[in-house]
Amino acid sequence: MIIHIKKAIILSVIATTVISTIAYASPAQPTKEQERPNILLILADDLGYGDVGFNGAEDIKTPSLDALAQGGTKFTSAYNAHAFCGPSRAGLMTGRYPHKFGSQFNLPRSSRSGHLGVPTGETYFSKVLQDAGYYTGALGKWHLGEDAEFHPNNRGFDEFYGFLNGGHKYFPKQFKAAYNRQTKNGLDYAIFSYLKPLERNGVEVDETEYVTDGLSREAVNFIKTAAKDKSQPFFLYLAYNAPHTPMEAKEEDMAMFPDIQDKKRKTYAGMVYAVDRGVKRIVTALKDSGQYENTLIVFLSDNGGKPNTGASNHPLIGKKGDVKEGGFRTPMFFHWPNKVAAGKEYNHPVITLDFFPTFAALANANIPSDKKLDGKNIWPALANNSNARPDEMIYALRHRTGFSEAAARKNQWKAITTGKEWQLFDIEKDISEQHDLSKKHPDILREMQAEMEAWTWTHAEPLWFHKHEEGTLWREKSMPRFHETFSAIAERQ
């Protein structure tokens, strides 16, 4: 039964602002209205760096993703703006490090995320594309705020289908039964969010398919709808919650991996395969609707995988939440026939913050003149296989209890501290971070530390914490304690 949620979603009307056009010279840069591409951004959740065939997986089959990667360009040094879900997505959408606007923690786990969300003063690139005439859709996991002002329909998306919190169970028969039991007991605020009905544009719906399949279905339907008006390009943000917990896979998907004996790994593999099956359906829909040739498909994960749920980040060390490579380096590719080179690798560092200016440039869209971006338009550099940010830093920062883990990548160098000593790696030669070169190149490390410390002065205090205990410890421990994080600079002088 369709149920209306208590707070109606009211589409906002944003006042006209002074805007500046982003224009770049590039051999593959669209310059005409009809050349503006559709943009399909597919985001997996907690996918390990080594868990897709195009990144070296030997036991997990991802034929559809592999075909797209081979037909496009694979990014071997792609990074997220943070090492776990909420902040990573906040950075992706805003084009800014989440630390700069208080979004460096996951939203509160309480009902409706404590009525908090990414500040509305932070323009999303979805809004910029929408204002440029794109038909926009968001599917799946949101995790950027649940109240009306933070809802996808008020942040640049014409259509939304999915769930607003940080996760969801996968089998409708199971989560609907549990939800009904709790509602019969008069619960509202105490109901586990992973059990609640999915929604379409603010109205709860009765999903009947395995959730990953349901999201793939909705992506196909969105493409079919968009194809009815070929004069209007589309942007679709497809945020699968797989293979995020809970670990729930279809039997037929797990059966594709008879050689995997470990139960966790087998379940995980089935969840990844369901995503791959969905991508196959979506590619077919693009071809059938005549949209395939003019669609930029981007695929990646929001952060590293969790080995304790069956993921592998091989050959990287670290896991989701870390500032080691396994925490925030992601498998990624761009695919656009005749526009993105096929069968190539782009080995220079990029970060998801780059999506905002890159997509805006491809869409001939205007970015508000007061919008400060941390990302770069990487399209010209991709076209000629050059470094989009020579001698410029990519940062990672994760706050722990009483200390902060910090890392930065510049060219081939990576400086990192996990709360103890600082280390320096030539990450191009040593992707597994095994050979510390800090004593051999102390000046390089000192320079990177100093630049990173200057970056931290731009940070804002957290607007929320995932749990009350985190906020209590933040105050008790006088966080963020950057004077300790960067004390090594003074000691070496």
Block residue for tokens 């908090």: 116
- Encode burial over 95-123: b for 16+ CB neighbours within 10 A, e otherwise: bbbbbbbbbbbbbbebbbbbebbbbeebb
365, 131 Cβ separation under 8 angstroms: yes
Helices (H), 295-348: 325-328
User: Of 4, 82, 99, 143, which residue is the catalytic one?
Assistant: 143
Counting beta carbons within 10 angstroms of the beta carbon of residue 145, is it exposed (0 to 12), middle (13 to 18) or buried (19 or more)?
Answer: buried
Helices (H), 296-441: 325-328, 355-362, 379-384
Of the candidates 221, 246, 247, the one whose C-alpha atom is nearest the C-alpha of residue 234 is 221
Dihedral, CA of residue 439, residue 444, residue 447 and residue 449, to nearest 10: -50
The angle at the Cα of 60, spanning 57 to 64, to the nearest 5 degrees, equals 95
What would the DSSP string read from start to end of 451-491? HHHHHHTT----S--SSHHHHHHHHHTTTT-HHHHTHHHHH
Q: Which helix (H) or strand (E) holds 266?
A: helix 263-288
DSSP 359: H
Q: How many CB atoms lie within 10 A of CB 379?
A: 23
Of the candidates 356, 341, 237, 226, the one whose C-alpha atom is nearest the C-alpha of residue 292 is 226
Block residue for tokens 């760096």: 49
Of the candidates 224, 207, 317, 331, the one whose C-alpha atom is nearest the C-alpha of residue 276 is 331
User: Of 85, 244, 348, 466, which residue is the catalytic one?
Assistant: 85
Of the candidates 378, 218, 376, the one whose C-alpha atom is nearest the C-alpha of residue 296 is 378
CA 203 to chain centre: 25
Is 85 considered catalytic here?
Answer: yes
- Amino acid at site 29: Q
Cβ-based neighbours of 67, under 8 Å, separated by 6 or more = none
- Amino acid at site 188: D
Of the candidates 333, 292, 10, 353, the one whose C-alpha atom is nearest the C-alpha of residue 150 is 10
Is 244 considered catalytic here?
Answer: no
At 293, is the secondary structure helix, strand, or coil? helix
81, 352 Cβ separation under 8 angstroms: yes
What phi and psi values does residue 178 have, to the nearest 5 degrees?
-65, -40
Catalytic residues: 85, 143
